[in-house]
Amino acid sequence: MAMTGQGGSAATERRLGRAVLFLQQQAPMVTSNVVRADISTLLLTGQAMDFASRMHGFGRLTSAKAIRQFARLSGIPDSLLTLQVLPVLKQANVIDFSVDSDGAVKSIEEFVGVSGTVIQQTFRVLGHLKPSKEELALLHSVEIASWAPLTKTQHLDQIVTLGISDEAAARGFDLSLATSINQRVHSKDLNEDVIFNPHVWGTGQIQIASFLRNLPPGERDALLSICEQASARPGSTLDTVGGNSSIIRSARKVGLIQAGTVKSSASGTPLRQTYVFSPLIQTADDQSTTTEALHLRKLFLAHILFGREKAMLGKGRINDPVVLVSKLLNSGSVGPATNIGTDYHLLESHGVVRVEELANGRAFLKLIKEEIARDGLDWLKASVGNIPGGSSSLKMENVPGLFVSPESDRSKLADDGVSDEITTATILELRKEVQRAVRNETPFGR
């Protein structure tokens, strides 16, 4: 069976590659051992590409310790790294590697984004690992639910038309619900569940603001300003978005906005700040070497903003993040400063920056992933603008220690009957819009 089923296309391959990375982000919330076993090939593909992405920008890595640490951060043990992950990444032309006389990894040369974008390379790695027909059905289920809300019957029919058996389609669909990557809402009119996932807003089929403006006033007024602010000012803090807090929670749950939270307890008192973003727009994401399905731009922006907003006054803070990131881009590094050696572990663990320590205890912050910082600077300018009179101090009293991803954020939000009714009505209206598109009543369609 072909990886993309019947009638595969480059666009579908990109969406399936991205679906693997969506599942990779969802994986920490999948606690069932049975489910994890049934989707093990997809999880391994996601881990392999997460590992490769962390190394992107280094070119050639000769530190066995760094290689091992990047692998561990992606959940890959030593035995799996040398026996399976590195060979399959080499087969897919994502990396090359060498080993010493004992078989331990000696060096890695990464070609991430060279032989294709990260999502294209993810699809190739998946092909080399040979997913089961049920796993392939799961990916198609995620891809279809990302493209349009459909009734369960229509959703399953779409999977089957791709050359997948009824049995495998049903199992893949069940796995999509078991992993919570796909969701369902019940339609009283149809007397059937409608299937979607939180990434449905990013396909580019609709302009979200235009779509929301055409909804009935109750739904429109509650959601429109929230989504417009998240789009116009990426990285706005949750408490500045305004509006009904329960409506905002519901919008986060269904993916109309994405929320990422930075946490720190360095000052002895737990501190946290939640930032909101627009959904990933897949058409723009397809043009990037990396993919925001991995949330690196969100991580970068939230990290820098946290240093400005949550560092203690009088103890040092990032006064002007635009100046700081501009300098990082222009010169490739900032510093030296003592706190650089302690405050940027999150960004360093994802390979966005590298800390270069000096003998006197101070350190330089070196930029590794220029694309992430460049896009992050654009987001910063939209979010905070240019702050006159600021400085580029790097000192942060409250060190970011944990980043809560949008997937984890969604999984922890409690149900709220009234506000969830509004987003449910919005999803059901989106289903109707897609149905009109299928009948060529609007200029978009799958």
Look up the pTM and report it. Answer: 0.90
The burial of 249, by beta-carbon neighbours within 10 Å (0-12 exposed, 13-18 middle, 19 or more buried), is given as buried
The pLDDT of residue 442 is above 70: no
- Comparing 1 with 299, the larger pLDDT belongs to 299
**Which residues are registered as beta bridge partners of 109?**
60, 96
Q: Are 262 and 403 in contact (CB under 8 A)?
A: yes
State mean pLDDT over 272-294: 91
Q: Contact 28/408 with Cβ under 8 angstroms?
A: yes
| Closest alpha carbon to 107 in 45, 156, 44, 60 | 60
For residue 387, the model assigns a pLDDT of: 54
- Give the model's pLDDT for residue 214: 86
State pLDDT tens for residues 340-363. 777 788 899 999 999 888 888 788
Write out pLDDT tens, residues 360-417: 878 888 999 999 999 999 999 998 765 554 555 566 666 777 899 999 999 998 877 6
Q: What are phi and psi of 165, to 5 degrees?
A: -65, 160
Rounded Cα distance between 105 and 205, Å, is 45
Pairwise CA distance, residues 225 & 209, whole Å? 9
pLDDT for the residue 98: 94
DSSP state of 84: I
pLDDT above 70 (res 315): no
Nearest to 399 by CA among 446, 317, 343: 343
Per-residue model confidence (pLDDT) at position 185: 94
Structure tokens at 431: 């289903």
pLDDT at 265: 65
Q: Please list, in sequence order, all residues whose beta carbon lies within 8 angstroms of the beta carbon of residue 332, skipping any fewer than 6 positions away.
A: 366, 367
Q: Looking up tokens 């993810």, which residue turns up?
A: 122
| Helix 417-438, helix 245-253: angle, nearest 10 | 50
pLDDT-above-70 percentage for the chain: 88
By DSSP bridging, strand 95-99 and strand 105-110 are antiparallel
The 10 Å Cβ neighbour count of residue 266 is 17
pLDDT tens sequence across 106-153: 999 999 999 889 999 999 999 999 999 999 999 999 999 999 999 999
Which run of H or of E encompasses 122? helix 118-129
78-90 pLDDT, tens digit each: 989 999 999 999 9
Please provide the average confidence, as pLDDT, over all residues in the chain.
87
Please report the pLDDT score of residue 433 as a whole number: 83
